[in-house]
Amino acid sequence: MDTITVRKMPFEFPDEIDPVIFEGNHKQSFGFIAGSLLLPHLEPYLIRSMKAAEEHVTDPKILDGLKRFAAQEGQHYRMHMKFNATVRRSGFPGLDALEKELSDDYHRFSETKSLRFNLAYAEGFEALTMNAIKQMMEPDGFGEDLPVFMQMIEWHFVEELEHRTVAFDVYDHVCGGYFYRLFVGIWAQWHFTRWIRRATAYMLKMNPPPKGNAKTAVENGMTQPPARASIRDQISAVWRIYLPSYTPHSVTIAPGIDRLARKYTAMAIKTS
Ligand SMILES: [Fe+2]
Ligand SMILES: [Fe+2]
């Protein structure tokens, strides 16, 4: 897990998909989809922030990490756009307005906020998601015979773990400062999780769970959402990212994730 491999993946999605991707679980299904809808707005913003930082980076190792981070995120959001187009064909016209609001926010941040703010936002996002991914995926990923959208998520999450130190290092190298990173990071986490909650609530309103115990049909092949760690484990994992001593360099990744990284490298159309 010490190398950052850029993989171009061959995933293709059906024309239409039942948006209830986890059987009988509208809330988690729409939560996952909202996360996917967020990324083609958020990840290009992260890339813009990294590109703006590039001229200030004098350490060749950090510079190489920055470029690989940007290249991985570029693959991620393009793939999510393909998946999102499939989801959008199943309805939810109000998502347009929600996405426009988000896109406007991120363009405004790039144009009007300081580089320090934008890099602290990036690290706030990366730190929280890296910890959430570890909770969801370790020790061995989501299992065998995954539907294609879950393979996409797994590939994406593996790469998030691969580049887990980059945003932290770039912020530290170019700007630095614990308290600023802490406060902007917490605000960033509120900002993007709030959007996910709003998009999820909208989808639930448009496509509410059936009353009683009726289950929805599943044609997607994934019957259950990824297991979540206990609340206690989640709190202890998330808490550490707010401590002054936190560094993603000391985060260990389970060996099973390395195996997944090799699997997705073998599946890729192209790697660099
Ligand atoms: Fe990503
Ligand atoms: Fe990332």
CA of 35 to the centre of ligand 2 (A): 13
Q: Say what percent of the chain tops pLDDT 90.
A: 83
Higher-confidence position of 66 and 229: 66
Quick one: pLDDT at residue 217?
A: 42
Quick one: pLDDT at residue 24?
A: 86
| Least confident segment among 45-54, 153-162, 236-245, 247-256 | 236-245
Q: Are residues 163 and 72 in contact, defined by beta-carbon separation less than 8 angstroms? A: yes
Quick one: pLDDT at residue 223?
A: 54
Split at pLDDT 50, 70, 90, the class of 238 is confident
Q: Are residues 21 and 35 in contact, defined by beta-carbon separation less than 8 angstroms? A: no
Looking at residues 148-160, what average pLDDT do you find? 96
CA of 136 to the centre of ligand 1 (A): 16
Quick one: pLDDT at residue 219?
A: 46
From the CA of 65, which ligand is nearest? Answer: 2
CA of 163 to the centre of ligand 2 (A): 7
Quick one: pLDDT at residue 218?
A: 47
Higher-confidence position of 7 and 240: 7
Quick one: pLDDT at residue 16?
A: 87
Higher-confidence position of 39 and 23: 39
Dump pLDDT digits (tens) for 94-140.
Answer: 999 999 999 999 999 999 999 999 999 999 999 999 999 998 999 99
Q: Say what percent of the chain tops pLDDT 70.
A: 91
pTM of this prediction?
A: 0.94
CA of 75 to the centre of ligand 1 (A): 8
Quick one: pLDDT at residue 254?
A: 96
CA of 164 to the centre of ligand 2 (A): 7
Quick one: pLDDT at residue 212?
A: 64
Dump pLDDT digits (tens) for 192-221.
Answer: 999 999 999 999 999 999 876 445 444 455
CA of 216 to the centre of ligand 1 (A): 30
Quick one: pLDDT at residue 74?
A: 98
From the CA of 39, which ligand is nearest? Answer: 1
CA of 98 to the centre of ligand 2 (A): 22
From the CA of 166, which ligand is nearest? Answer: 2
CA of 157 to the centre of ligand 2 (A): 8
Looking at residues 148-156, what average pLDDT do you find? 96
Quick one: pLDDT at residue 118?
A: 98
CA of 126 to the centre of ligand 2 (A): 5
CA of 42 to the centre of ligand 1 (A): 9
Would you list the domain boundaries of the chain? Answer: 7-271
CA of 70 to the centre of ligand 1 (A): 9
CA of 78 to the centre of ligand 1 (A): 10
Dump pLDDT digits (tens) for 40-87.
Answer: 999 999 999 999 999 999 999 999 999 999 999 999 999 999 999 999
CA of 213 to the centre of ligand 1 (A): 36
Quick one: pLDDT at residue 34?
A: 97
CA of 131 to the centre of ligand 2 (A): 12
Residues with CB under 5 A from ligand 2 (ion): 160
CA of 161 to the centre of ligand 1 (A): 10
CA of 70 to the centre of ligand 2 (A): 9
